[in-house]
Amino acid sequence: MSISNTMRGALIAAGFGVAGATWAQNAPQASADALSIDNFTFTPQTLTVKAGTTVTWTNKDDIPHGIASDNNAFKRSPALDTDDSYSFTFTTPGTYQYFCYVHPFMKGTIVVQANSG
Protein backbone atom coordinates (compact mmCIF):
# COMPACT_ATOMS: atom_id res chain seq x y z
CA MET A 1 0.00 0.00 0.00
CA SER A 2 1.38 3.37 -1.01
CA ILE A 3 0.69 6.65 0.88
CA SER A 4 1.02 9.96 -0.92
CA ASN A 5 3.25 12.68 0.51
CA THR A 6 0.14 14.79 1.20
CA MET A 7 -1.48 11.98 3.15
CA ARG A 8 1.76 11.22 5.00
CA GLY A 9 2.06 14.90 5.99
CA ALA A 10 -1.55 14.96 7.19
CA LEU A 11 -1.01 11.82 9.29
CA ILE A 12 2.16 13.22 10.83
CA ALA A 13 0.45 16.55 11.57
CA ALA A 14 -2.49 14.74 13.15
CA GLY A 15 -0.08 12.70 15.28
CA PHE A 16 1.64 15.82 16.53
CA GLY A 17 -1.73 17.43 17.21
CA VAL A 18 -2.76 14.57 19.47
CA ALA A 19 0.59 14.57 21.25
CA GLY A 20 0.40 18.35 21.68
CA ALA A 21 -3.13 18.14 23.06
CA THR A 22 -2.10 15.46 25.54
CA TRP A 23 0.89 17.53 26.67
CA ALA A 24 -1.24 20.68 27.02
CA GLN A 25 -3.71 18.87 29.26
CA ASN A 26 -0.92 17.66 31.55
CA ALA A 27 1.15 20.84 31.52
CA PRO A 28 1.17 22.84 34.76
CA GLN A 29 -0.91 25.97 34.45
CA ALA A 30 -1.10 29.03 36.68
CA SER A 31 -4.36 29.16 38.51
CA ALA A 32 -6.61 32.15 38.03
CA ASP A 33 -8.76 33.91 40.57
CA ALA A 34 -11.49 36.37 39.72
CA LEU A 35 -12.51 39.66 41.25
CA SER A 36 -15.77 41.32 40.30
CA ILE A 37 -16.39 45.05 40.15
CA ASP A 38 -20.07 45.66 40.79
CA ASN A 39 -22.06 48.42 42.47
CA PHE A 40 -18.84 50.38 43.15
CA THR A 41 -17.39 47.44 45.10
CA PHE A 42 -14.61 44.91 44.59
CA THR A 43 -15.80 41.39 45.39
CA PRO A 44 -14.22 39.79 47.26
CA GLN A 45 -12.81 42.76 49.15
CA THR A 46 -9.73 40.71 50.13
CA LEU A 47 -8.45 37.86 47.98
CA THR A 48 -5.76 35.43 49.15
CA VAL A 49 -3.80 33.57 46.46
CA LYS A 50 -0.54 31.64 46.05
CA ALA A 51 2.46 33.19 44.29
CA GLY A 52 2.19 32.63 40.54
CA THR A 53 -1.58 33.16 40.48
CA THR A 54 -3.13 35.32 37.79
CA VAL A 55 -5.86 37.53 39.22
CA THR A 56 -8.52 38.91 36.88
CA TRP A 57 -10.75 41.88 37.64
CA THR A 58 -13.98 42.09 35.58
CA ASN A 59 -16.14 45.21 35.49
CA LYS A 60 -19.82 44.34 35.92
CA ASP A 61 -20.88 47.96 36.50
CA ASP A 62 -22.39 50.06 33.74
CA ILE A 63 -19.71 52.75 34.16
CA PRO A 64 -15.91 52.57 33.69
CA HIS A 65 -13.49 51.60 36.45
CA GLY A 66 -9.71 51.28 36.56
CA ILE A 67 -7.33 49.23 38.70
CA ALA A 68 -4.18 50.74 40.25
CA SER A 69 -1.79 49.61 42.98
CA ASP A 70 -1.26 51.85 46.01
CA ASN A 71 2.53 51.53 45.62
CA ASN A 72 2.81 50.90 41.85
CA ALA A 73 3.48 47.19 42.45
CA PHE A 74 1.76 46.42 39.15
CA LYS A 75 0.93 48.33 35.98
CA ARG A 76 -2.34 50.20 36.17
CA SER A 77 -5.15 48.96 33.95
CA PRO A 78 -6.75 50.87 31.14
CA ALA A 79 -10.27 52.13 31.91
CA LEU A 80 -12.53 49.07 31.97
CA ASP A 81 -15.97 49.39 30.40
CA THR A 82 -18.77 46.96 31.23
CA ASP A 83 -17.59 43.33 30.94
CA ASP A 84 -13.96 44.38 30.27
CA SER A 85 -11.27 42.58 32.26
CA TYR A 86 -7.74 43.22 33.47
CA SER A 87 -5.33 40.52 34.67
CA PHE A 88 -2.06 40.52 36.57
CA THR A 89 0.10 37.60 37.72
CA PHE A 90 1.34 37.99 41.29
CA THR A 91 4.74 36.29 41.63
CA THR A 92 6.04 37.80 44.86
CA PRO A 93 4.49 37.05 48.26
CA GLY A 94 3.12 40.06 50.10
CA THR A 95 0.05 42.20 50.64
CA TYR A 96 -1.03 44.39 47.74
CA GLN A 97 -3.46 47.25 48.25
CA TYR A 98 -5.26 48.48 45.14
CA PHE A 99 -8.01 50.94 44.25
CA CYS A 100 -10.14 52.22 41.39
CA TYR A 101 -8.33 55.26 40.00
CA VAL A 102 -11.63 56.59 38.62
CA HIS A 103 -13.34 56.21 42.03
CA PRO A 104 -10.53 56.26 44.66
CA PHE A 105 -12.90 55.34 47.51
CA MET A 106 -13.13 51.83 45.98
CA LYS A 107 -10.37 49.75 47.60
CA GLY A 108 -9.30 46.12 47.80
CA THR A 109 -6.48 43.86 48.96
CA ILE A 110 -4.64 40.92 47.42
CA VAL A 111 -2.67 38.72 49.83
CA VAL A 112 -0.07 36.61 48.02
CA GLN A 113 1.27 33.63 49.94
CA ALA A 114 4.45 31.71 49.15
CA ASN A 115 4.05 28.38 47.40
CA SER A 116 4.80 25.55 49.81
CA GLY A 117 6.74 22.46 48.83
Residue 106 CB coordination number (10 Å)? 18
Give residue 77's identity as a one-letter amino acid code: S
Residue 116 pLDDT: 80
Record the pTM.
0.71
For residue 94, which of 81, 113, 71, 69 has the smallest C-alpha distance?
113
Question: Running along the chain, 117 residues long, what does each successive block of 10 average in pLDDT?
Answer: 47 41 35 88 96 97 97 95 97 97 98 87
- Give residue 117's pLDDT: 57
Confirm if 50 and 31 have CB atoms less than 8 A apart: yes
Rounded CA-CA distance 96/98 in Å is: 6
